[in-house]
Structure 1
Amino acid sequence: MTGADKSQRRDRGASAPGQRAHEVGQIPITNGVRTGQHDGVAVEASARPRPTPALHERIGQVLLTEGLITEEQLARALNAQRLAYAPLGTVLVNQGAVHEDHMTMVLSAHLEIPVADLKHLEVDAEVARLVPEDFARRNLVLPLRRDNGHLAVAMNDPSNLMVINDIRLITGLPVAPYIAAPSDILLNLTRIHDMHPRLSVAAKTLNESRPQAQTDRVMTLELAKVTSSSPAVEIVNLLITQGLRDRASDIHIEPQKDYLRVRFRIDGVLQDMAHLPSATGAALSSRVKIMAGMNIVERRRAQDGQISVNVDGRELDVRVATMETIWGEKLVMRLLDRGRSLITLPQLGFSQGAYHEYHRLLHSPYGMMIVSGPTGSGKTTTLYASIHELDSQVRNIMTIEDPVEYMFDHINQSQINKLADISFANGLRAILRQDPDIILVGEIRDRETAEIAVQSALTGHLVLSSLHATDAVGALLRFTDMGIEGFLIASSVIAIVAQRLVRKTCDGCRVPYAPATEDIEFAASVGVAAPHELYKGQGCSRCNGTGYFDRIGVFEVLTLSDEVKRLVIAKASHAEIMTAAVAEGMLPLRADAWAKISKGVTTVSEVMRSVYII
């Protein structure tokens, strides 16, 4: 099927009889034949099944027919499925080929089973606990409620009759299956099986068993005993497990004057999760340091370490950093989920024009493309999505990173190692001797790395890298600050992306509101009038009362046109280059942010918090 055929198929204006009209690329959800066993559960549609696809038709072919995946993506997923022994749909979602919501819609129509709207449905916690948590997580199932003598159960794979039979044996009730997205099931399981009661019990036990104040040497030996005890182990395991389930990027364990504070960084914002007795801090610190292979005796110097663990069947790398404060030793654990789904370029949040421009330039035979922004703005995610877009079968793609956060098939990845004297500059030199076509450099931090990267781009390689700068023009000027000549910048750099991450308004509690003064002023700053209605989240269990869930990128893409190159060589000011770029069609960060605000994707207050630009 050609791209034009797929586009025509998706852009049909009228819906078939009995079928709900839907957006481009979406599949109408079917509820199949509704019986009494499916009453009382919120579902997302009431359309009758379409004539196609037939029940025996393979799900991969359905996705191809609907234009949601390409034949290349299907072939790649089938190869991975043979090694992973996982359902094809799961593999496609994990590879970023299709969004899990679209997969859920397709499966619903394919199996003629209704979709449970878990974003708006209140799950009966008592009923949900009828099935053990480990079984529910392993099989991605969530009991919803009792209905007409049946147990309504949301499932990722309602065609799995063995799991349905197991649930019947566990609960003693016949099962009425519904389909739901895996992330929605896991989110509800995390809320229902909350860690706080177990954490409180373990903390109390650990507090009671703590060693009394003694000499440092005796105290350390006593701590080693307590650290290996069940409460310390359980608390650390609970925190790491809950952090992963809550989508936390970092776990902070912070000693305060009167208590030990635990905070999770979720969607870029720190949230209080627990307050533990102060006396538990030393034992927890020692436990984490033992796991990370760090020096348990040294408490004054900052230390770094790493832990590899398996949580809910997912491989997790935990990078640990410690630092002494006036109230005790502070720890930060950064969670790197090796098994997380890769975000693809279309999912990042580019505007249509910026996406097409970036995608076009990404397929250039040589040159340098830079992703800029502050720490935590999603630069690595954009770089990973970019190399995922490139064909690794006929080209040698090599990376030097700090550290490798996602492992690709058919791409040669390496990471810096201070002990082995492998820096970005040294690693890049080594890569150039490996006959590369495409090079990813995790970050350009110094003049030496910048010079080698520029020379690589000038000698026929496509170089992708990141740089700390406030906007795209600022990234250009950073090269000048590093001592790179303007003519070299103009000759090597083909595009710069500046980006920020903003939290998305929660779909579970999004409500309209009349624009406030700050909304009207923000709209005026980009030269437009605010609409009569905007959206915000009012807070719910799904978003933990914040009104936001997940994040999306805000972007500007600067293409080095002839005029921009001339200004760079002439050492023009930031304002002059920015004016020329906007005149040639570049959408600034602020304008892209407003486009997302006006569509209800995020809010002005969130943009003002994250997109700190003039």
Structure 2
Amino acid sequence: MANAETSLTVDSNAERHTLSESEYKIKIQALGNQLNSANNLGEALINVKDDICELFGANRITVYVVDGVKRELVSRFKSGNEVAEIRIPVAQTSIAGYAALKQRLVNIKDAYDQGELTDIDPSLQFDSSWDRRTGYRTRQILAHPIVYQKYLMGTLELINREGNGEFGPAEEKAIQELSKIMGTALYNQKRIAARGSRTNKYDYLLENHLLTQKELTKAIADGAKRKEPVSAVLMKDFKISKKEIGNALEKYFKTNFIEYNANYPIPGDLIAGLKVPFMRNNIWVPLKSEDNKVVIAVDNPYDLKKIDEIKALFPGRPVTFYVSLRQDILDFIKLFTQDEKELAEIDDILSQLQVETDEVEEAESSVGDEDSAVVQLVNKIILDAYNRNASDIHVEPYPGKQNTQVRIRVDGACTIYQTIPFSYKNAVVSRIKIMSDLDIAERRLPQDGKIKFKKYGGKDIELRVATIPTQGGLEDVVMRILAAGEPIPLDKMGFSKRNHKNFISVVTKPYGLIFVCGPTGSGKTTTLHSALSFINKTETKIWTAEDPVEITQRGLRQVQVKPKIGFDFAAAMRAFLRADPDVIMVGEMRDKETTSIGIEASLTGHLVFSTLHTNSAPESITRLLDMGMDPFNFADAILCIMAQRLVRTLCKTCKRQYHPSKEEYDELVREYGEEEFKANLDIPYTDDLQLYKPEGCDLCGNSGYRGRMGIHELLMGTDEMKKLIQLKAPMEQIRDQAINDGMSTLKQDGIDKIFQGHCDLLEVRKVCIK
């Protein structure tokens, strides 16, 4: 098994023995002789484990060693199968960590007695999470740091004296002696490993006890036999993480390690003109430009012939080399150059861009041919953004000889997707305008249009396009990918129990007015369509007026408004009222006329849904009253107003559980409101309280976040609320009444979801203030 040298945890059913100090000394000396004379410390520990347990009358023993990079104690070998590995910080959060931090002996009679721990040190804690995971009950703990001269090597920990006895002074003195012997043995082993493998790429793994020399030799042999890189064998057969292999390569090659990331920006300006087969055969790829410096990922930065060949391709520019794994480099090449429609490989596209002789200012002629490189490049940008679940694509040209930058928005956050050579900025913008049926000669005024991508690239994607003139005589283009698809069921929308119950109670009413409010891109349309899906029955006639129609449902009669020809939301609503509706949904009530018709329709027996661009539910009421709505009609019509935001959620694959500090807990309570927290959540601060934080993995692009969920603020149209609306009460009074009626604010709903393990306070604060 891997890492047998690093640590040992064993069970012993030995009976308790009482030994004299001299007997202890003799037995400790014998154990020391075995450990110091062994060629392999891991095997020696296995051989003496039962002797150590019997000597101390202990039920279990753990030998931790220090991970010198992370400053953690690590236990990697266990005779039981309860957990594969224990990692604990050198800190007061555990007994072993405290012994290592303070470099002093710790003897605990009852690990769960906080008073006993406080007597030793007020900050000392027992990490009970391992007991909960394993089902094993820890009582007594005797721990001592393993030190060689002044160097901390680890911690020796004995657990549970047989027969419920206690570890006494004799055991304390004996563990000091044994720890001293182990310190010498660990130091010698580390020194031998470092000396014997100075020329080995993986000496870091040996020095930090992640791998034995025997296992490394086997991995090298297996790699040669299977024609696989050694790194692949280490990850597959010996369960060494890619991160640890990266650390080893960083130390050996003395440069940065770069790991494959599917969301890495495509360096289009660097790829231009390079031959993909040459990069694949020689295992290298350009990654980015940094201060005129080219950053290259390569599998062997010490291969001077390869390095010279690569430098020759970038004359006059300094080149920096990062190390990466062979497969990661091939994945980068595939990401940067290939698209699933096989329209073209991007190196060919950008090579064509370089050799096309048409003047870029004459964009019309350079993009008229459907087979041109610009056509393929724009198609690739749209397809890649769609495949990465982006909501928006931003094409951002810069003046002079600066390259055009393409950014995409995923889960609400913008990231760089790729760069395009500066000489083709006008051609790309003109191609997008042609696809959108816009005037390519007009560059001084903003324009907007739509792309139905199916006729250009095969995929049934619809995009809303806006062009905006920017300084330097340039134009930015922003394309929003319209989210076609099925509505999400209401019980999958992330509502709290109260909000779900109350929202369903109003959407099933026969008439009235329901508003969903929030900024652009906060999921208002999705929520409305989910509500309509809930009540979409054969006996119910539902009309919707939208701009644009994004989500389609069978059973709904959906209308696309066209303001340019006078068919706006108000005109659509007047038409609906003559078309025998039961339910009307209007995309947005942005003016007095549309809102008045909506209130009128709700008072004449129709259920009306709409959206508002306001920050919170109480503010929506004052906004509508300021717009000139009759307070009595509005009060009669209103059923509820729901404000919502989309908050980035923690990646389900890699989010990490942790015990928050008291200060962090107090901050969450303070942000929620102490009285409301006690009344609504009432989650006490205990040793068992667990929250989650982002970690980062391949699936989430190492960001720690993947996907979004709604946080909601639901104001109900209660009788008391209707009275305040009739009186045109100030917003603060309306807000206080809504809270008295049971409303949770956006931030409170977000904090509730933090305790449920979905998100963290940083992301909640990004989307709401109160």
Q: TM-score range by the shorter chain?
A: 0.5 to 0.7
Q: Deviations over 1:561-589 (max 9, x none)?
A: 11111111112111111111111211221
SS at match of 2:416: strand
Given the alignment of the two structures, is residue 266 of structure 1 paired with residue 410 of structure 2, yes or no? yes
Work out the CA distance in 2 between the residues paired with 1:418 and 1:382. Answer: 24
Moved more, 598-607 or 506-515: 506-515
Q: Could you tell me which residue of structure 1 aligns to residue 719 of structure 2?
A: 562
Letter in 1 for 2:386: L
Given the alignment of the two structures, is residue 249 of structure 1 paired with residue 395 of structure 2, yes or no? no
Q: Could you tell me which residue of structure 2 aligns to residue 582 of structure 1?
A: 739
Deviation at 1:537, TM superposition (A): 2.0
Work out the CA distance in 2 between the residues paired with 1:365 and 1:490. Answer: 17
Q: Could you tell me which residue of structure 2 aligns to residue 533 of structure 1?
A: 690
Work out the CA distance in 1 between the residues paired with 2:517 and 2:734. Answer: 16
Work out the CA distance in 1 between the residues paired with 2:491 and 2:606. Answer: 25
Given the alignment of the two structures, is residue 511 of structure 1 paired with residue 656 of structure 2, yes or no? yes
Q: Deviations over 1:484-532 (max 9, x none)?
A: 1221111001111110110110112111244475664233221246674
Work out the CA distance in 1 between the residues paired with 2:380 and 2:363. Answer: 24
Work out the CA distance in 1 between the residues paired with 2:589 and 2:665. Answer: 37
Q: Could you tell me which residue of structure 1 aligns to residue 496 of structure 2?
A: 351
Deviation at 1:300, TM superposition (A): 2.1
Work out the CA distance in 2 between the residues paired with 1:442 and 1:295. Answer: 28
Letter in 2 for 1:502: V
Q: Deviations over 1:232-278 (max 9, x none)?
A: 12111111111111111111110124111111111111111111211
Given the alignment of the two structures, is residue 596 of structure 1 paired with residue 753 of structure 2, yes or no? yes
Given the alignment of the two structures, is residue 523 of structure 1 paired with residue 666 of structure 2, yes or no? no
Letter in 1 for 2:521: G
**Identical positions, percent:** 36
- Identify which of 553, 556, 569 aligns with 1:424: 569
Q: Deviations over 1:458-504 (max 9, x none)?
A: 00000000111111111111110110122111100111111011011
Work out the CA distance in 1 between the residues paired with 2:611 and 2:670. Answer: 32
Shift of the 374–530 alpha-carbon distance from structure 1 to 2, 3 Å rule, reads farther
- Identify which of 194, 210, 219 aligns with 2:335: 194
Where do residues 112-151 of structure 1 align in structure 2 (5 Å cutoff)? none
Work out the CA distance in 2 between the residues paired with 1:439 and 1:433. Answer: 12
Where do residues 38-77 of structure 1 align in structure 2 (5 Å cutoff)? none
SS at match of 2:424: helix
Letter in 2 for 1:306: K
Given the alignment of the two structures, is residue 332 of structure 1 paired with residue 478 of structure 2, yes or no? yes
Moved more, 317-326 or 304-313: 304-313
Q: Could you tell me which residue of structure 1 aligns to residue 428 of structure 2?
A: 284
Deviation at 1:228, TM superposition (A): 3.9
Letter in 1 for 2:418: A
Higher RCO structure (Cα 8 Å, ≥6 apart): 1
Letter in 2 for 1:324: P
Letter in 2 for 1:245: N
Q: Could you tell me which residue of structure 2 aligns to residue 35 of structure 1?
A: none
Q: Give yes or no for contact 1:519–1:604 (8 Å, CA) kept in 2.
A: no
Work out the CA distance in 1 between the residues paired with 2:656 and 2:549. Answer: 40
Work out the CA distance in 2 between the residues paired with 1:193 and 1:530. Answer: 49
Q: Give yes or no for contact 1:486–1:571 (8 Å, CA) kept in 2.
A: yes
- Identify which of 401, 414, 419 aligns with 1:275: 419
Max Rg structure: 2
Q: Give yes or no for contact 1:195–1:242 (8 Å, CA) kept in 2.
A: no
Shift of the 404–207 alpha-carbon distance from structure 1 to 2, 3 Å rule, reads same
Letter in 2 for 1:596: K
Q: Give yes or no for contact 2:436–2:465 (8 Å, CA) kept in 1.
A: yes
Q: Give yes or no for contact 1:315–1:337 (8 Å, CA) kept in 2.
A: no
Q: Give yes or no for contact 2:694–2:705 (8 Å, CA) kept in 1.
A: yes
- Identify which of 631, 637, 647 aligns with 1:492: 637
Work out the CA distance in 2 between the residues paired with 1:201 and 1:282. Answer: 20
Work out the CA distance in 2 between the residues paired with 1:610 and 1:538. Answer: 21
Work out the CA distance in 2 between the residues paired with 1:603 and 1:285. Answer: 39
Q: Give yes or no for contact 1:416–1:424 (8 Å, CA) kept in 2.
A: yes
Shift of the 499–387 alpha-carbon distance from structure 1 to 2, 3 Å rule, reads same
Shift of the 605–460 alpha-carbon distance from structure 1 to 2, 3 Å rule, reads same
Q: Could you tell me which residue of structure 1 aligns to residue 710 of structure 2?
A: 553
Work out the CA distance in 2 between the residues paired with 1:228 and 1:192. Answer: 26
Work out the CA distance in 2 between the residues paired with 1:224 and 1:200. Answer: 18
Given the alignment of the two structures, is residue 299 of structure 1 paired with residue 456 of structure 2, yes or no? no
Work out the CA distance in 2 between the residues paired with 1:391 and 1:212. Answer: 55
SS at match of 2:565: coil
Q: Give yes or no for contact 2:411–2:707 (8 Å, CA) kept in 1.
A: yes
- Identify which of 366, 372, 375 aligns with 1:223: 366
Letter in 2 for 1:389: F
Shift of the 533–212 alpha-carbon distance from structure 1 to 2, 3 Å rule, reads same
Given the alignment of the two structures, is residue 474 of structure 1 paired with residue 615 of structure 2, yes or no? no
Shift of the 191–232 alpha-carbon distance from structure 1 to 2, 3 Å rule, reads same
Work out the CA distance in 2 between the residues paired with 1:330 and 1:405. Answer: 24
Letter in 2 for 1:367: G
Q: Which runs of 5+ in 2 are unaligned?
A: 1-240, 243-258, 261-330, 339-344, 678-683
Q: Deviations over 1:398-446 (max 9, x none)?
A: 0111111111112111021123210111110011000100000110001
Q: Could you tell me which residue of structure 2 aligns to residue 607 of structure 1?
A: 764
Superposed CA RMSD in Å reads 2.5
Output the TM-score relative to the length of structure 2. Answer: 0.52
Deviation at 1:312, TM superposition (A): 9.0
Letter in 2 for 1:241: L
Q: Could you tell me which residue of structure 1 aligns to residue 45 of structure 2?
A: none
Shift of the 294–546 alpha-carbon distance from structure 1 to 2, 3 Å rule, reads same
Q: Give yes or no for contact 2:367–2:375 (8 Å, CA) kept in 1.
A: no
Q: Give yes or no for contact 1:314–1:337 (8 Å, CA) kept in 2.
A: no
SS at match of 1:333: strand
SS at match of 2:391: strand
- Identify which of 608, 612, 635 aligns with 1:463: 608
Q: Give yes or no for contact 1:223–1:286 (8 Å, CA) kept in 2.
A: no
Output the TM-score relative to the length of structure 1. Answer: 0.65
Q: Give yes or no for contact 1:502–1:551 (8 Å, CA) kept in 2.
A: yes
Q: Could you tell me which residue of structure 1 aligns to residue 208 of structure 2?
A: none
Given the alignment of the two structures, is residue 234 of structure 1 paired with residue 392 of structure 2, yes or no? no
SS at match of 1:542: coil
SS at match of 1:399: strand
Q: Could you tell me which residue of structure 1 aligns to residue 152 of structure 2?
A: none
Letter in 1 for 2:406: V
Shift of the 555–337 alpha-carbon distance from structure 1 to 2, 3 Å rule, reads closer
- Identify which of 340, 351, 364 aligns with 2:509: 364
Q: Which runs of 5+ in 1 are unaligned?
A: 1-120, 127-189
Given the alignment of the two structures, is residue 433 of structure 1 paired with residue 578 of structure 2, yes or no? yes
Work out the CA distance in 1 between the residues paired with 2:390 and 2:665. Answer: 30
SS at match of 1:443: coil
Work out the CA distance in 1 between the residues paired with 2:647 and 2:333. Answer: 28
Q: Give yes or no for contact 1:504–1:551 (8 Å, CA) kept in 2.
A: yes
Q: Deviations over 1:34-65 (max 9, x none)?
A: xxxxxxxxxxxxxxxxxxxxxxxxxxxxxxxx
